[in-house]
């Protein structure tokens, strides 16, 4: 059976009423027949029927033993780091999501859990960074915003050799395109706010573990720390999942067309998209992903923040906003938005140029999206010509 069919039919019909949609059990507590005698639910922080269905569906989709739903992607990441102890070290991808970096540096460092950041596209760099205290390798692939690809299978082999945990933040690919547990990872994490929710209307996070023991630990921290996903938001994720494969196929088709268009545009310096043959890890992406996803980033030949600002304020269909993964296209300027708190030199080292613009390509008609970018790029061109003429007139 194909993944889409399997997913749709892993969403159960309500045995009590025949409801084809999973009911929203908007309740905090459950009446017990006698103390401790209940029907599998006693309090909704610990377990809730709507959340439980979501967790089962996602565990199956990622081919893991246990799923756990959290109030945000960061709460999901937080639950994974709680598996560690003071003195443990994390090896993390250097192009890491800013919120995860803040969590590691501003929260966990003071509890004695430290992270080193390495270019995980370079396997020897990972090997060199391992110490006797290393416990966890933290990957994101593709990364944000430069879409670097790490070889999950090869890194799982390293983790295995040194008895380390391998966790993969699978937000950018989604389980429709990439299944890290099948490639040897122990834990997969999602900001379900993005592609799993898919409609820019919910903040949520998910953890799936390959084995039941790790799953028991994650479920313990979920209940003990309490950052659980509510029943209504759980329902929204289930509804999002129903169209996950369909959406990701179209996001990917649109994104590839747009990447090709940008690559041939005279004002564009470089396009980052793992689906392009020019992408340095295109072959690995083609091997471990079934398609290349909906995020594209690019820099301009006029590498200035001003040029990027002109671009992102002159698109009409691509709306200026942080986040990604929704049905409507979004555009953002990394240096001024998601990466504002990182100093310029460090930003440049991470490949985030002053003019780097990130697109979350939505489900609009692709020709309309290309026309929108084309109009905005023409304005960028006209603006910089005017600026050059002014400069010449003054000199
Ligand atoms: C957005 C995002 C997160 C954080 O998720 P929230 O739902 O915003 O807490 C983590 N990782 C990646 C790759 C993200 O894009």
Q: Can you give the pLDDT at residue 351? A: 85
171 lines ligand 1 (CB under 6 A): yes
Give tens-digit pLDDT for 357-369.
Answer: 999 999 999 999 9
Reported confidence tier of residue 385, pLDDT bands at 50, 70, 90? confident
Residue ranges, CATH 3.90.1150.10, the chain: 245-394
- Ligand 1 pocket test, pick from 73, 98, 175, 188 with the greatest ligand atom count within 8 Å of Cβ, gives 73
Residue 395 has pLDDT above 70, yes or no: no
| Rounded distance from Cα 389 to ligand 1 centre (Å) | 43
Three-state secondary structure string covering 74-116: HHHHHHHHCCCCCCCEEEEECCCCHHHHHHHHHHHHHHCCEEE
Q: Is 73 in the pocket of ligand 1 (CB under 6 A)?
A: yes
Please list the alpha-helical segments (H only) found in 191-243.
212-225, 231-242
* Nearest C-alpha neighbor of 360 from the set 241, 207, 198: 198
b/e sequence 39-72, b meaning 16+ C-beta within 10 Å = eebeebbebbbbbbbbbebbbebbebbbbbbbbb
Best mutation site among 94, 171, 174 for ligand 1 pocket (most ligand atoms within 8 Å of CB): 171
CB 65, CB 59: distance < 8 Å: yes
Whether residue 194 has its Cβ less than 6 Å from ligand 1: yes
| Ligand 1, atom 6: closest residue by C-alpha | 73
What confidence score (pLDDT) does residue 58 get? 98
* Cβ of residue 203 lying under 6 Å from some atom of ligand 1: yes
Q: Atom 9, ligand 1: which residue's CA is nearest?
A: 73
What mean pLDDT, rounded, does the chain reach?
Answer: 96
Q: In angstroms, what is the span from residue 132 Cα to ligand 1's centroid?
A: 30
Q: How far is the CA of 74 from the centre of ligand 1 (A)?
A: 6
List CB contacts of 263: < 8 A, sequence separation 6 or more.
271, 276, 278
DSSP 210: S
Judge whether residue 394 has pLDDT over 80.
Answer: no
Q: Which overall architecture, per CATH, does domain 3-241 show?
A: 3-Layer(aba) Sandwich (3.40)
Question: Is 272's C-beta closer than 6 angstroms to any atom of ligand 1?
Answer: no
Q: Relative to the CA of 204, which ligand 1 atom is closest?
A: 7
Instruction: Pick the residue whose CA is nearest to atom 8 on ligand 1.
Output: 73
Q: Sorting pLDDT into bands at 50, 70 and 90, what band is 328?
A: very high
Q: Is the distance from CB of 251 to CB of 362 less than 8 angstroms?
A: yes
Chain-centroid distance of CA 233 in Å reads: 18
Residue 266's CB: how many other CB atoms inside 10 A? 7
Chain region(s) in the chain for CATH 3.40.640.10:
3-241
Query: Which residues are catalytically annotated?
Result: 45, 97, 169, 194
- The percentage of the chain sitting over the pLDDT mark of 90, rounded to a whole number, equals 90
Q: Separation of 203 CA from ligand 1 center, angstroms?
A: 9
Residue 342 has pLDDT above 90, yes or no: no
When pLDDT is cut at 50, 70 and 90, the band that residue 316 belongs to is very high
pLDDT at 139 exceeding the cut of 90: yes
**Stretch 66-76: mean pLDDT, rounded?**
98
Residue 189 CA from chain centroid, whole number: 8
pLDDT over 80 (residue 196): yes
Position 348 scores a pLDDT of 87
pTM of the entire predicted model:
0.96
- CB of 358 closer than 6 angstroms to any ligand 1 atom: no
- Name residues whose C-beta falls within 8 Å of residue 240's C-beta, 6 or more positions apart in sequence: 192, 196, 197, 198, 199, 202
Share in percent of the chain as helix, strand, coil (round to 5):
40, 15, 45
- DSSP assignment, residue 136? E
- Rounded Cα–Cα distance for residues 175 and 235 (Å): 18
Which amino acid residue places its CA nearest to atom 14 of ligand 1?
191
What is the per-residue DSSP string for 306-370? Answer: HHHHHHHTS-SSSEE-S---SSS-EEEEGGGTTTTTS-HHHHHHTT--TT-EEEE--SS-HHHHH
Q: Please state the rounded mean pLDDT for residues 8-21.
A: 94
Q: What is the CA radius of gyration of the chain?
A: 22
Q: d(Cα 361, Cα 264) in Å, to the nearest integer?
A: 18
Q: Which fold has domain 245-394?
A: 3.90.1150
Instruction: For residue range 258-296, list pLDDT tens digits in order.
Output: 999 999 999 999 999 999 999 999 999 999 999 999 999
Q: Is 99 in the pocket of ligand 1 (CB under 6 A)?
A: yes
d(CA 314, CA 310): 6
pLDDT at residue 341 greater than cutoff 80: no
* Mean pLDDT, residues 97-115: 96
């Amino acid at each position: 059976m194909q993944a889409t069919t399997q997913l749709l039919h892993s969403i159960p019909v309500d045995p009590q009423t025949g409801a084809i949609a999973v009911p929203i059990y908007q309740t905090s507590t459950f009446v017990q027949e006698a103390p401790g005698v209940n029907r599998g639910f006693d309090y909704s922080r610990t377990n809730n029927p709507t959340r439980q269905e979501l967790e089962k569906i996602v565990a199956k989709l990622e081919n893991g033993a246990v799923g756990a739903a959290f109030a945000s992607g960061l709460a999901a990441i937080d639950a994974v780091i709680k598996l560690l102890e003071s003195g443990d070290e994390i090896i993390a991808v250097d192009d890491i999501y800013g919120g995860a970096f803040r969590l590691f540096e501003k929260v966990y460092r003071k509890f004695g859990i430290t992270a080193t950041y390495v270019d995980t596209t370079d396997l020897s760099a990972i090997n060199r960074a391992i110490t006797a205290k290393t416990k966890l390798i933290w990957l994101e692939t593709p990364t944000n915003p430069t879409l670097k690809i790490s070889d999950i299978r090869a890194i799982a082999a390293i983790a295995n050799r040194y008895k380390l945990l391998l966790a993969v933040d699978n937000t950018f690919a989604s389980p429709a395109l990439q299944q890290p547990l099948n490639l040897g990872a122990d834990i997969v994490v999602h900001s379900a706010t993005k592609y799993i929710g898919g409609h820019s209307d919910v903040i949520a996070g998910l953890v799936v573990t390959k084995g039941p023991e790790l799953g028991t630990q994650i479920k313990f921290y979920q209940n003990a720390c309490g950052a659980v996903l509510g029943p209504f938001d759980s329902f929204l994720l289930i509804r999002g999942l129903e169209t996950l494969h369909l959406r990701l196929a179209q996001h990917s088709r649109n994104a590839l067309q747009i990447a090709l268009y940008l690559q041939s545009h005279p004002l564009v310096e470089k396009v980052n998209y793992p689906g392009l043959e020019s992408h340095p890890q295109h072959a690995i992406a083609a091997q471990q992903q079934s398609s290349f996803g909906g995020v594209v980033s690019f820099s301009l030949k006029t590498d200035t923040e001003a040029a990027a600002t002109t671009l992102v304020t002159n698109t009409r269909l691509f709306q200026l906003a942080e986040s990604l993964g929704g049905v409507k296209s979004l555009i953002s300027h990394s240096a001024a938005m998601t990466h504002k708190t990182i100093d310029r030199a460090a930003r440049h080292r991470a490949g985030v140029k002053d003019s780097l613009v990130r697109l979350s390509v939505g489900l609009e008609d692709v020709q309309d999206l290309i026309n929108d970018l084309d109009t905005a790029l023409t304005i960028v061109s006209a603006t910089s010509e005017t600026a050059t003429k002014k400069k010449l007139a003054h000199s």
